[in-house]
C-alpha cells in the first residue's frame, strides 16, 4: 500500500475490564497498546491535484529543483513523488536522492551541505529537518523557496529566501512567517509566481537597456558636436522633452510586457549576477553606435544632404537641428522595439498583445 502512495492505518481492539476505564478525564487515559486483535487495514489516498505534474515539469525546465519533505514514511513519499513527477527512475537509481529525516539530522554540518544538493525526497522528517535542509542549501549559495501550511513549518518558511504558505489550510503562524500566501493552496500557483517574477525582472532589464542607449547616444552627440563646432544640435528643452517622454511612456510600454513562455525556459538568475548582462551591453553599444553614426552624419553633413546652401546660416541650422532632433526621437521609437526582446531576433513577436505598448 505504501508503495502505491497510500497512507496505511490499522484497526484493532482489545477487551478491557470496566474497572480499567477511568470515569473522569477519559481523554487523558493512556489506551492499551498490547494484546490487540487486528480487525483490518485501510489505505488512504491523498491524490495529486490536476496540473501538479505539469507544474513540476515546468519548474524543472525553468531550472527550479522541486524537493519533497514529508512526515510520511519513505516508501509512501517515494510513490507520491513518482506520481507528481518529482522523481523518475533515474533519480531512484542514484544514492542519497531519497533520505530519511533521522539520517540527515544526524549528519555533520559539512556532510549535510554535500548531501543537500542531491536530496529530492526526505521522508519521516521532523520540522527541524526542513529547517536544516533550507540552511544547508542557503550556505551552498542557492535561492531557496519553501511551501508549508502548519505551525511547525514556520521556522523553515521564515528562514527561506521566499516563504510560500497556504491560504486555505495554512495556520496563522505559517502565514505570518511567509512572504507570499497562495490563496488556492495549489502548487501550480508557484509556477505563476516564478513566471511573473521573471517577467518583472526581464522588464526592468529591458527598460535599463533602453534608457542607457538614449542617454549614451544623446551625450556623445552633444559632446562631439560641442567640441568640434561649438554648437549643440540637441538643446536643453529638446533633451528634457526626450527624457520626460522616454522615462514615462517608454517605461510604461516596456514595464507592462506580459510574461511569455520563453521566460520559463531560461535558467534562474544567480544571487551575484549583474543586472546588466553581456547581451544587454552588446545591444546597447551596437544601437548607440548606430544612432550616433546616423545623427553625426546629419549634423555635420546635413546642409549638403538637405541642399540648404542657398538658405541663410541661421535658417539652415534650424532645419538641420530640427531634423536631427526628429531623427533622434524616431531612433528611440525603433530602439523601444529592439529593447522588447534583448535576446531574440524577432523583436515584433507578440507586440499586438500588449495594447499599452502599441498605444
**Per residue in 294-314, pLDDT tens?**
998 888 887 888 787 777 878
| 37 and 57 housed in the same domain | no
Cα 256 to chain centroid, rounded: 17
Count Cβ atoms below 10 Å from residue 340 Cβ, excluding itself: 21
Domain encompassing residue 35: 2-44
Mean pLDDT throughout 10-29?
83
| Grid cell 521573471 in the structure block, residue | 198
pLDDT of the residue at 349: 82
| 272 and 136 housed in the same domain | no
Q: What is the C-alpha separation between 212 and 200, in angstroms, rounded?
A: 18
| 7 and 118 housed in the same domain | no
pLDDT band at 271 (very low <50, low <70, confident <90, very high): confident
What cell numbers appear for 49 in the block?
491535484
| 264 and 239 housed in the same domain | yes
Q: What is the pLDDT of residues 64-82, one digit of tens each?
A: 899 999 888 888 888 888 8
Cβ within 8 Å of residue 311, ≥6 positions away: 319
3-state secondary structure of 68: strand
| 91 and 230 housed in the same domain | no
Mean pLDDT of the chain: 86
- Which of 137, 160, 191 terminates a domain? The answer is 191
pLDDT of the residue at 309: 78
CATH number, domain at 132?
Answer: 3.40.50.1000
What cell numbers appear for 105 in the block?
539530522
| 37 and 106 housed in the same domain | no
Cα 54 to chain centroid, rounded: 17
Q: Which residues pair with residue 100 across a beta bridge?
A: 123
Q: Which residues of 32-50 are buried (b: 16+ CB within 10 A; e: fewer)?
A: eeeeeeeeeeeeeeeeeee
Answer yes or no: pTM beyond 0.95: no
| 211 and 353 housed in the same domain | yes
- Is the pLDDT at 93 greater than 60, yes or no? no
| 274 and 239 housed in the same domain | yes
- Please count the structural domains in the chain: 3
What cell numbers appear for 229 in the block?
563646432
- Is the pLDDT at 149 greater than 90, yes or no? no
pLDDT band at 193 (very low <50, low <70, confident <90, very high): confident
Is the separation of the CB atoms in 214 and 81 below 8 Å?
Answer: no
Amino acid at each position: 500500500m505504501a508503495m502505491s502512495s497510500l497512507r496505511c492505518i490499522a484497526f484493532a481492539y482489545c477487551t478491557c475490564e470496566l474497572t480499567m476505564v477511568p470515569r473522569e478525564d477519559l481523554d487523558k487515559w493512556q489506551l492499551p497498546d498490547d494484546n490487540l486483535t487486528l480487525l483490518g487495514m485501510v489505505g488512504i489516498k491523498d491524490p495529486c491535484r490536476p496540473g501538479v505534474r505539469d507544474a513540476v515539469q515546468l519548474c524543472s525546465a525553468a531550472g527550479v529543483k522541486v524537493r519533497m519533505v514529508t512526515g510520511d514514511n519513505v516508501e509512501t513519499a517515494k510513490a507520491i513523488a513518482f506520481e507528481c513527477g518529482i522523481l523518475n527512475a533515474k533519480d531512484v537509481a542514484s544514492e542519497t536522492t531519497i533520505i530519511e529525516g533521522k539520517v540527515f539530522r544526524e549528519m555533520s554540518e559539512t556532510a549535510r551541505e554535500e548531501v543537500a544538493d542531491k536530496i529530492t525526497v526526505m521522508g519521516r522528517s521532523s520540522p527541524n529537518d526542513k529547517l536544516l535542509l533550507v540552511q544547508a542549501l542557503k550556505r551552498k549559495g542557492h535561492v531557496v523557496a519553501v511551501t508549508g501550511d502548519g505551525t511547525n513549518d514556520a521556522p523553515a518558511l521564515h528562514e527561506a529566501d521566499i516563504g510560500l504558505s497556504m491560504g486555505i489550510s495554512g495556520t496563522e503562524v505559517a502565514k505570518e512567517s511567509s512572504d507570499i500566501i497562495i490563496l488556492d493552496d495549489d502548487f501550480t500557483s508557484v509556477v505563476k509566481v516564478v513566471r511573473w517574477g521573471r517577467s518583472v525582472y526581464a522588464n526592468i532589464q529591458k527598460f535599463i537597456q533602453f534608457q542607457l542607449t538614449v542617454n549614451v547616444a544623446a551625450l556623445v552627440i552633444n559632446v562631439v558636436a560641442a567640441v568640434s563646432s561649438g554648437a549643440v544640435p540637441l538643446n536643453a528643452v529638446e533633451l528634457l522633452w526626450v527624457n520626460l517622454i522616454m522615462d514615462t511612456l517608454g517605461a510604461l510600454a516596456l514595464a507592462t510586457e506580459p510574461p511569455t513562455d520563453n521566460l520559463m525556459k531560461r535558467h534562474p538568475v544567480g544571487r551575484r549576477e549583474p543586472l546588466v548582462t553581456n547581451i544587454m551591453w552588446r545591444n546597447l553599444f551596437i544601437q548607440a553606435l548606430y544612432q550616433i553614426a546616423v545623427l553625426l552624419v546629419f549634423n555635420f553633413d546635413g546642409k549638403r544632404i538637405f541642399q540648404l546652401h542657398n538658405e541663410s546660416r541661421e535658417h539652415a541650422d534650424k532645419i538641420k537641428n530640427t531634423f536631427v532632433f526628429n531623427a533622434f526621437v524616431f531612433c528611440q521609437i525603433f530602439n523601444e522595439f529592439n529593447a522588447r526582446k534583448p535576446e531574440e531576433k524577432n523583436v515584433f513577436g507578440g507586440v499586438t498583445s500588449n495594447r499599452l505598448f502599441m498605444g
